[in-house]
Amino acid sequence: MIQLLLSIATHSVALLVYPGLLFMVAFGALVELAWLRVSRREWERPELPRLRATPVLATVALCSVLAAVQVSAPFNEVPGAERSVVLAAVGLAFTAWAELALTVEFVAAPGLLLIVQFCWVLAVLGPAVQPESLRPQVLGNVLVPGLLPVKVACGFLYLLALPALMRLWPLLPPADRREKLRLDTGRILTWFPYCGLFTTLFVPPPSDDAIGFVRFFGITFLVAAIVIGLGALLRWRGEAVARGLYTRAVPPFAGLVIAIVVVTSVLMR
């Protein structure tokens, strides 16, 4: 009974505090402010997001928290054996599906977004083919030279997909009529799960100490900075270039990633 209560308490801390909801919001707010500063030529103070409990916001928050507790953040109270890359992938996928299902008029190029999401799922699950494990920390700890091409290709595909999934690309939804600058609640909730999952999958897991904490979140902030840079570049090049990238370049590259995964799996047996 005591063990059950302790387990409930530790999981509650992970879900609600760290690396869950509270930490996720703090991380996301910092990165979102950085994105707004980079993406705007003239800085203006953004308005706070509306905190209405809509079905979309509730779904995004719940799924993002589920994904966040799967990462290999130091001092994560969720045991490593209970974490799964599939839960993280499904949780983050549902954040996009909720918007597509409930507010499709506010989603730019929904068909193209689904294609990009498929490419992202491939990047997440690709490294799991050969190790045959779905625990994120195991995938990040695989340093076999023969798997390096898979990890590099999947990591690159993961980063290419994020500007679209985070809605940093210049494609605007038809129903977006906002004139005032406002913090995006959906992005705030998903910055850490997306960037933290990248660090978990493609970087060896950190130790549970101060050095490990600094290393993990230093890399995670670096990933966020790269995504912000890619988003700013796409905004600068314009909608035509962004649409061309995600229709004519990313899907073929995803096909190449599949080929690399298959060949590597055959050669490593």
| Domain assignments of the chain as residue spans, ordered by start | 2-267
Note the pLDDT of residue 20: 92
pLDDT at 9: 84
Angle between helices 148-165 and 210-237 (to 10 degrees): 60
- Name residues of the chain where pLDDT drops below 70: 1, 42-44, 46-51, 101-106, 130-133, 138, 141-144, 173-182
pLDDT of residue 177: 47
pLDDT for 180: 59
- What local confidence, expressed as pLDDT, does residue 257 receive? 96
User: What's this model's pTM, rounded to 2 decimal places?
Assistant: 0.92
CA 25 from chain centre, in angstroms, equals: 14
Label residue 45 exposed, middle or buried (CB < 10 Å: 0-12, 13-18, 19+): exposed
